[in-house]
Amino acid sequence: MKDKLAEKIQEKALPIIRELGYDLADMELVKEGANWYLRFFIEHLDAEQIVDIDDCQKVSERLSDWLDETDPIPQAYFLEVSSPGIERPLKKEQDFIRFKGSLVEVSLFAPFQGKKTYVGSLGDVSDKELILGQDDRDLTIPREMIANIHLYWDENEEG
């Protein structure tokens, strides 16, 4: 039930978010303790711009108006709008295309070639496998083994 409701909300919210000049990086409807949270993670349609607090407020106000009008969620919840962050997760096909060549961290469900976590340059991604550029070679990881992928940021490196 929760997944279908989240999908419906995402489908209806996406045009509102895009109309304001943003894209939806991710969305979740989750229960944490006694409270429900509806979280939208937004980014600018222009990938060079960074989402700031004013952007989040603008989207939050517009989504709040829409949610108040349509009332799609039966229980009380908190609405949160934010940037996906510097180490944003990669989930959608367009994420893999957009961030090809970027440094990513890949976490696995079980060890693969002796490790459960790899950092490298994101290469081609298909339904069956992901290519991760390592220092001296490319590593092909079966997609079924991947728990999550996110951009990797090393605070000790410049840039």
User: Length of the chain, please?
Assistant: 159
Residue 3: the pLDDT is 83
Structural domain spans, the chain? 2-82, 93-151
Residue 157: the pLDDT is 64
Question: Has domain 93-151 been given CATH number 2.30.30.100?
Answer: yes
Distance CA 63, CA 118 (A): 37
Q: Which pTM was predicted?
A: 0.79
CATH topology of domain 2-82: GMP Synthetase; Chain A, domain 3 (3.30.300)
State which residues of the chain have pLDDT below 70. Answer: 1-2, 157-159
Residue 72: the pLDDT is 92
DSSP at 89: B
